[in-house]
Amino acid sequence: MMRCSAQANTGVGVGTIVIRPELCYICHLHQGDMRAFLNWDTFFTCLLIFATTTALYYIPTNFDFLNPIKQAIGDFDITDMAQSRFRDNDAIAIDTSIVLVNLSTLNRAGIADMVDKLNAAGPAVIGIDAMFRKPKSPDADSSLAQAFRRVPHLVLGCKIDYDDSVQAFDSVETQCDVFARCAERTGFYNVISDDDKSFRTVRNFSPKEMVNTDTVLNFAAAVCQAYDATSTMRLLSRNNSTEQIYFRGGTQDFYNLDAEQVLDSSADLSFIRNKIVLIGFIGERIDTVPHSLEDVFFTPLNSNYAGRAFPDMYGVVIHANVVSQILHRQYINEMPLWLALLLSFVMCVSTVACFNIIEEHLPFWYDALTIAIFLLQSLALTFLHIVVFNNLHYKLNITVSLAALALTPTLHEIYHNSIKPLFWKAVGKFRRKKA
């Protein structure tokens, strides 16, 4: 190891290394700080932090009494705040290529009249978010089937069933045959929160699923395929099993019509020409607050993102948001796990080293400074996460980093005040016994 020399050397000979005195001073000044980064205490403290973080993540799954806490924490995502509170919604334009139409309480005969009237206005695609599983009135069914056949590009939906024993989708629940034969395309309605509709939030969608040996497209993807095949290919070429939904907004962020407006004989529907029309249940009236749990879900746009009381978005509106996302190609990319772990490791080492320096040089201020550093780091990470998500549509994976930072002050003290002294005490006892 070459030592720094404080003596200036003005002559340069062969093989001579000249080191300026002021550089030696800087090297000497920071030598103690560098030791805070490159020592075994920092390594073992970080090891303890990551081991504890991992244990806290996996252990609660085995305790039923912690399930309510786990669910409350597990259903929260910082991007919820980014979309519901920290986004300039005025800057998001209404998607004029999509028209939402409310089925309300119409029977099949009423739906047939609605479809005929909409189809006469010349939309590019009509997608219907409703299941017609069984035959009912022969006259009404016949009228509805004839209305469906007159639509050049009709997209209907299906439900795909998941078998837990084989961990795969194994069957498809289709429309009644008389209606299924009328559709140009079919896509599955399932949303990823189907397993627990009463609590979970819809944040993602699956572009396609394998059902036995067949590939079934998502309903929104099937609608887009009929309208803009290139955009749909762009979605499928990403080859992601799931995509996070970029929510444009609720019904007010799309053209929307109630059933009575469509069926009004004086209504001018010419504005829907060459647009995508999505028909589905949006309550008795669009302007009413949801009061039933029929096809309604929580989303990140829910203003009460913590302690939610009632779902905020109907299924057809979620499909409209996915369609809009596919057409505008506004995909959200997520930080890979390896990069998230690297970020967490760098922050953990830096924080522990900083705590070591504070403990050595400012022991009286240790408690106050460590808490202040943790709070500042957490706020800075959260703010950065929201800014990057809203502006770049990139999701930083900071969960591990925040958990590690939260544990660092406590575990740093536990290591230095308990684990390290006990370890060296045991080593000393072992050496004395051996001697």
pLDDT in tens, 227-257: 999 999 999 999 999 999 999 999 999 999 9
The pLDDT mean for the chain works out to 83
Helix (H/G/I), strand (E/B), else coil: 105 = coil
Show the CA angle centred on residue 32, arms to residues 26 and 33, nearest 5°: 85
Q: CA-CA distance, 218 to 172, in Å (whole number)?
A: 13
Closest CA to 272 of 90, 413, 374, 122: 122
pLDDT value, residue 7:
43
Q: H helices then E strands: how many in the chain? A: 16, 15
In the 8-state DSSP scheme, what is residue 435?
-
Alpha-carbon gap, residue 343 to 349, rounded angstroms: 10
Predicted structure pTM score: 0.80
Residue 22: its pLDDT value, please?
42
The reported pLDDT for the residue numbered 68 is: 47
Is the model more confident about 7 or about 292? 292
Residue 376 has a pLDDT of 93
Rounded distance, CA 169 to CA 149, Å? Answer: 30
CA dist 223 and 25 (Å) reads: 69
Going by the DSSP 8-state scheme, the letter that residue 410 receives in this structure is H
Residue 421, Cβ density class (10 Å: 0-12 exposed, 13-18 middle, ≥19 buried): exposed
Q: What is the pLDDT of residue 36?
A: 52
What does the alpha-carbon distance between residue 356 and residue 177 come to, in Å, rounded to a whole number?
72
Report the alpha-carbon distance of residue 280 to residue 129 in Å, rounded. Answer: 5
| C-alpha to C-alpha distance for 326 and 334, rounded to whole angstroms | 17
Q: At what angle do helices 399-414 and 366-392 cross, to 10 degrees?
A: 170
Which of 286, 383, 349 is closest to 85 using CA atoms? 383
Q: Tell me what the mean pLDDT of segment 84-93 comes to.
A: 78
Which range, 32-36, 125-129, 288-292, 347-351, is most confident? 125-129
Helix (H, G, I), strand (E, B) or coil at 395: strand
Tell me the C-alpha distance between 53 and 72, whole Å.
Answer: 18
Task: Tell me the DSSP string of 66-98.
Answer: GHHHHHHHHT--HHHHHHHTSS-GGGS--EEEE
Least confident of 46-60, 331-345, 366-380: 46-60
Of 289-293, 369-373, 392-396, give the lowest mean pLDDT range.
Answer: 289-293
Pairing of strands 296-297, 313-314: antiparallel
End-to-end alpha carbon distance in the chain = 34
Enumerate the β-bridge partners of residue 118.
none
Distance of CA 202 to the CA centre of its chain: 9
Return contacts of 17-23, CB within 8 angstroms, 24+ apart.
none
Comparing C-alpha atoms, which of 189, 190, 201, 219 is closest to residue 297?
201
Structure tokens at 203: 């944040």
Between residues 304 and 238, the one the model is more confident about: 238
User: How many Å apart are CA 275 and CA 280, to the nearest integer?
Assistant: 16
The letter for the amino acid at 30 is H
Both tokens of residue 27?
A: 């090297």
Mean pLDDT of 319-331: 96
What's the token pair of residue 261? 């407006």
